[in-house]
């Protein structure tokens, strides 16, 4: 049975992992799962916040601290926002492009 430590408020993010149990201590986990939610605050990567950005810098800082506790023998998974915070902590970058084309 895989032991999963969920980082973030939504424990249901783990439901796709077969044969698992949730643990309350990161030390006991085989898998550390960072969940979705608000955007990662753009100030963390040197950008200004867009008026439509919804972020939570306190959560960002807390989750960065949790990431520092992940051991090399633990699988670290990020879903949506969780992937963004993991990429930020590891000095990575996620790029995406949205193209809007008018039908006219």
* pLDDT of residue 93 exceeding 80: no
CB count within 10 Å of CB 5 equals 22
For residue 11, what pLDDT band results from cuts at 50, 70 and 90? very high
For residue 89, what pLDDT band results from cuts at 50, 70 and 90? confident
Greater confidence, 91 or 83?
83
Per-residue pLDDT tens for 12-71?
999 999 999 999 999 999 999 999 999 999 898 888 888 888 999 999 999 999 999 999
How is residue 20 annotated by DSSP? E
Q: Calculate mean pLDDT across residues 77-97.
A: 80
Q: Which domains does the chain have, with CATH numbers?
A: 2-89 (3.40.50.880)
Q: Which of 16, 19, 22 is nearest to 1 (CA)?
A: 19
């Amino acid at each position: 049975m895989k032991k999963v430590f969920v980082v973030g408020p939504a424990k249901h993010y783990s439901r796709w992992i077969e044969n698992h149990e949730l643990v309350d201590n990161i030390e006991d986990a085989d898998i550390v799962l960072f969940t979705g939610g608000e955007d990662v605050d753009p100030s963390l990567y040197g950008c200004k916040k867009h008026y439509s950005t919804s972020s939570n810098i306190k959560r960002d800082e807390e989750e960065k601290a949790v990431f520092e506790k992940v051991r090399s023998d633990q699988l670290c998974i990020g879903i949506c926002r969780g992937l963004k915070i993991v990429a930020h902590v590891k000095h990575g970058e996620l790029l995406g492009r949205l193209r809007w084309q008018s039908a006219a």
